[in-house]
Amino acid sequence: MMQAAFFQHASVAGTTRFSSCRRNSTSAFFASTTTTTKKKKRVAVLRSPVRAHHGPDYVAQFEPENAAGGGLIIAAALLGRYLSTGKTLNCSGLVDPVEGMSNTVFLSEKLPCIVGMLATSTVLPHLGLSHLLPAGGFELIEGTSRLALALFLVGFGSKLGGGCTSGHGLSGIGRLSSRSIVNVCTFMIFGALAATMFNTNALLHVVTENGKGKAVAAVNAITNTAAATQADKALYGKIIASALAGFTTIAYLAKNDIIIKRGSRAADVVKSAVHGATGVLFGVGLCVGGMVNPAKVSTFLQFTQSTWDPSLAVLMGAALAAIIPGVMLIKKQCNAPTFGDEFDRPDPGNIDTKLILGGAIFGTGWGLAGLCPGPLFVNLGAAFANQSISATGGIGLAFLSFWVGRCGAQFVKGCLDSAA
């Protein structure tokens, strides 16, 4: 018989509620039992047994102010990057193995952005937001095999389809790319199907009741909201205003050759710093919106459950509401980015099999684990900071599986291109 003792604590920013429990139980499968032994073997990797769990349970909580605030911080990061470098942000493409780790693009643009996201856990305490990210990062899906498979699919699908939630969902749709819209619709559908069919919420310990069987006040994702405090809203506004002021000041100085002369060594350093700042801001926005927590993503994807949490939709909606007109304004006012010759344009390619298949594969992996590349980097940085990284389990295994998936997709794409 299972015994549980729950405690609940709330952050000052009205962020995610947790309750902690200690479970002593024999192995029990979280998903519905299949009717035949053959079917059970087929889904053994996906349907991992629920083990004794000593970490925090996640109480579903819809926090629209935090979701919107996180989306707007992300928008500030992407618009600043676009204005300064002409580049969009595709988190899945930051660690492409085929480009090598020594070329100029990786060292001057991608690496600073990666370092910025990894440093998010270090920056949050200085902003008074340390409560948004637990030491060592959020708890991941139970089951080593399932975690490895899920992140392999995330890496493979994002490479095959040319993007992920950031590359297609924000940067692509933000530039009104039809290819990105198709890819996003595809991975949303397959993400929801995978999360629902294999009940990702259960392996991320999403709960709806406390230990005494009484409903927790924050369970209903629609009617019970935890609004951010006025201090939180003011802080989010300061972060956004400071970021935009910094990016526009750099653009003005460089355009007029004041201190920063384009083409100089100093300009190259500032450009790399912009990429790093983008990574930090993006990571902070993800944390404010709760998207670094796989359980919060899973509660969005499993929209048929009573714990449904639309925070992800609110975050993306808020971000795109700023990104779309922001991109149009930048292109209208600027002939070229601050440090570059031209702005990135949406891929003019046709909507093809690779785009749709990649979206389906990425969405399946995303739904199985509730984790995509941006949150992967932020949680990885938290694990590094907490000295709790391992290549055989947890976030270390997740990153390794993601990278291997990218390698595999690159090989497959090469074969398909050769055959064509």
Residue 278 amino acid letter: T
DSSP assignment of 337-369: -TTSSS----------HHHHHHHHHHHHHHHHH
Under 8 Å between Cβ of 163 and 172: yes
Please give the chain's pLDDT, 420 residues, in tens. Answer: 333 333 333 333 333 333 333 333 333 333 333 344 444 444 444 544 444 444 556 666 788 899 999 999 999 999 999 999 999 999 999 987 655 555 778 888 899 999 999 999 999 999 999 888 988 889 899 889 999 999 999 999 999 999 999 999 999 999 999 999 999 999 999 999 999 999 999 898 887 654 443 333 333 333 233 567 888 899 999 999 999 999 999 999 988 888 888 778 888 899 999 999 999 999 999 999 999 999 999 999 999 888 889 999 999 999 999 999 999 999 999 988 999 888 988 777 788 889 999 999 999 999 999 999 999 999 999 999 988 776 657 899 999 999 999 999 988 877 777 776
383: number of CA atoms within 13 Å, CB side?
21
Closest-CA residue to 143 (of 32, 25, 29, 48): 48
* Three-class SS state of 63: coil
At residue 59, the pLDDT reads: 66
Strand partners, 57: 19
Show Cβ contacts of residue 87 under 8 Å, excluding neighbours closer than 6 positions: 81, 109, 337, 340, 344
What's the CA gap between 89 and 78, in Å, rounded? 7
- The reported pTM is 0.83
The two tokens of residue 345 are 């344009």
Under 8 Å between Cβ of 291 and 315: yes
DSSP assignment of 152-185: HHHHHHHHHHT--IIIIIIIIHHTT-HHHHHHHH
Under 8 Å between Cβ of 15 and 59: no
Give the helix/strand (H/E) hosting 19: strand 17-20
Under 8 Å between Cβ of 311 and 64: yes
Q: What does each C-alpha distance from 386 to 135, 282, 315, 362, 383 come to in angstroms?
A: 6, 21, 28, 29, 5
At residue 265, the pLDDT reads: 85
At residue 306, the pLDDT reads: 82
At residue 67, the pLDDT reads: 94
Q: What does each C-alpha distance from 151 to 329, 362, 400, 401 come to in angstroms?
A: 37, 9, 8, 6
Strand partners, 207: 59
The two tokens of residue 9 are 């604590």
Give the helix/strand (H/E) hosting 147: helix 144-161
The two tokens of residue 15 are 């962020």
Give the helix/strand (H/E) hosting 120: helix 120-123
At residue 363, the pLDDT reads: 97
Residue with tokens 């780790």: 101
The Cα angle at residue 60 between residues 210 and 140, in degrees rounded to 5: 100
Residue 138 amino acid letter: F
Phi, psi of 256 (to 5 degrees): -100, 10
Closest-CA residue to 374 (of 399, 407, 408, 343): 399
